């Protein structure tokens, strides 16, 4: 099956720093989604981005589907950005008109004050 | 508008006990999913349902059963819990199977 690899696995930043998280995938995908899992375990959708670039405040994401990677940019990081960032690709499912999410193992981000 | 609601939030079981995790969505979405998350790992797909009356196995279905009771509800059953099933379980739903997914807040299950 498709493989989703995220890097780096861990990242420690000082508040105010910028960072780039990377997601590589091994095969063509229908779509891609970035999530933030906060310290309470809640999964929050950040971007739904099959291709191109999207921005939401201090966060932006770029997906280059032809080269099978996506990048998540965090600028001017804040302590509330801490948590785990997951990339998940959407592939065709089994029965019916459905798909399924395949997750990478995540990047754990710690932002220090 | 609650989105995806999971119950219970926490549960401790003894090995061999059975239980059902409940998931309900109020978004009128067709597709629903059950994932598990183990420490240091991403989420892995257990079962999913494209629509009412259909279910499919995911990556790690062994030891689980599911029921798509109606369009709103998708339950996950552990018939004989094992310590290896200690995990955090997430339910998700999507209107467009190739689009964005919404997750519930999770059920933390410990099997002793």
pLDDT in tens, A57-110: 999 999 999 999 999 999 999 999 999 999 999 887 665 567 788 999 999 999
Residue among A48, A86, A94 minimizing CB distance to B99: A48
The answer to whether residues A53 and A60 touch, using CB atoms and an 8 Å cutoff, is yes
- Predicted pLDDT of residue A28: 87
- Predicted pLDDT of residue A40: 87
Contacts A–B by Cβ distance under 8 A:
82
Instruction: Considering only residues B97 and A31, tell me which one the structure prediction assigns the higher pLDDT.
Output: A31
Chain B residue with Cα closest to A90: B98
Shortest Cα–Cα distance, B107 to chain A (Å): 10
| A106: DSSP letter | -
pLDDT tens-digit series, residues A21-36: 999 999 988 889 999 9
pLDDT tens-digit series, residues B33-76: 999 999 877 899 999 998 888 899 999 999 999 999 899 999 99
Residues A46, A56: Cα–Cα separation, whole Å: 8
Q: Is residue B1 over pLDDT 60?
A: no
Chain B residues lying within 8 Å of A43, measured CB to CB? 90, 103, 106
**Phi, psi (degrees; rounded to nearest 5) at A93:** -85, -165
The average confidence (pLDDT) of chain B is 93
pLDDT tens-digit series, residues B76-85: 999 999 999 9
Pairing of strands B56-57, B74-78: unpaired
Q: Which residue has the tokens 């989105």?
A: B3
> What is the token pair recorded at A112?
């220090």
The helix or strand, by DSSP H or E, that contains position B87, with its residue range, turns out to be strand B87-94
Torsion of CA B36, B97, B28, B65, to 10 degrees: -40
Residues B66, A85: Cα–Cα separation, whole Å: 28
């Amino acid at each position: 099956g498709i493989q989703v690899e995220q890097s780096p696995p861990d990242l420690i930043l000082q508040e105010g720093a910028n960072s780039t998280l990377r997601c590589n995938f091994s095969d063509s995908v229908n779509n891609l989604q970035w999530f933030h899992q906060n310290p309470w375990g809640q999964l929050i959708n950040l971007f739904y981005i099959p291709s191109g670039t999207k921005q939401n405040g201090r966060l932006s994401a770029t997906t280059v589907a032809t080269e099978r990677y996506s990048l998540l940019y965090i600028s001017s990081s804040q302590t509330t950005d801490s948590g785990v960032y997951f990339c998940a690709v959407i592939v065709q499912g089994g029965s019916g008109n459905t798909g399924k999410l395949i997750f990478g193992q995540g990047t754990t981000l710690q932002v220090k004050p | 508008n609650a989105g995806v609601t999971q119950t219970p939030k926490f549960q401790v079981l003894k090995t061999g006990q059975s239980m059902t995790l409940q998931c309900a969505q109020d978004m009128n979405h067709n597709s629903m999913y059950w994932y598990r998350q183990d420490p240091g790992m991403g989420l892995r797909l257990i079962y999913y349902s494209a629509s009412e009356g259909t279910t499919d196995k995911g990556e790690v279905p062994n030891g689980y059963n599911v029921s798509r009771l109606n369009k709103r509800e998708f339950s996950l059953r552990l018939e004989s819990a094992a310590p290896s099933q200690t995990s955090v379980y997430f339910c998700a739903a999507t209107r467009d199977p190739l689009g964005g997914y919404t997750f519930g807040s999770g059920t933390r299950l410990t099997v002793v």
